[in-house]
Homo-oligomer: A and B are copies of this chain.
Amino acid sequence: MKLYDCKPAPNPRRARMFMAEKGIEIPTIQVDLRAGEHLKPAYRAINPQCVVPYLVLDDGAGIGEVVAIWRYLEETHPTPQLLGVDPEDKAIVAMWQHRMELDGFQAVGEAFRNSTPGFKGRALAGPHDYEQIPALAERGKARTLDFFDDIDKRLGESEFIAGPRFTAADIDAFVAIEFARWIKLAVPAACKNVTRWHNAVSARPSASA
């Protein structure tokens, strides 16, 4: 296996953190997003979606989308289980992961990509070009603040996002919060549950993956 990666970018970090939790070490190939390497013919030929992370299996099959990379790694390296341990738990983890991705990671992303000059004409990741929408940048910030409040409530009733165990849902929430620095939003001091949890997750070795 090998992973097309970009060390500074938030999306591949979701995959790297998952691998670090499982102790999976594979070669990575750095794709320089700032230099637009993902949009050039050489990388388009590898992954026509023009995004990272992208996992290439030993048989040559390419796996894009973080949730799909996670699925492959969970199936082939089951310990520790990061996508749930039994049918009900797997569903609970899938539910919270999906919310963290949409309400957290996507919210920050829409704020960032719709406001950063370098993403002019490239407001969405992927092969198609869409113009920035300033109102969407503002909405993304509002959603990010709602996200902080929502997970603070959740973390007041649960040690981790999806229950008593660290899971992929924590990875998405953690990376979303780290990504929010890029739009200059930090967890408010009033969100004490998020702060408690964020400190705990930050102390895990995978946090620096």
Interface, chain A (partner B; CB < 8 A): 49, 55, 57, 59, 61, 63-65, 67-72, 75-76, 84, 86-88, 90-92, 94-95, 98-99, 103, 124, 126-128, 130-131, 133, 135-136, 139, 142-143, 146, 150
Contacts and interface: CB of A to CB of B under 8 A. Distances in A.
Nearest to A107: B124
Contacts of A88: 57, 59, 61, 63, 72
5 contacts: A49-B99, A63-B91, A64-B99, A133-B133, A135-B136
Contacts of A139: 130-131, 133
Given A64-B95, A76-B87, A135-B136, 5 more contacts: A72-B91, A75-B87, A128-B146, A130-B142, A133-B136
B65 A99 contact: yes
Interface of A is mostly: helix
A135 B87 CA distance: 41
Contact of A143 (B87, B130, B143): B130
A55 B128 CA distance: 35
Contact of A135 (B70, B76, B98, B133): B133
B75 A95 contact: no
A59 B86 CA distance: 14
A65 B87 CA distance: 15
A7 B146 CA distance: 30
A167 B146 CA distance: 34
Interface core residue of A95, A136, A139 (most chain B CB under 10 Å) = A95
A68 B169 CA distance: 12
Contacts of A49: 99
A67 B86 CA distance: 16
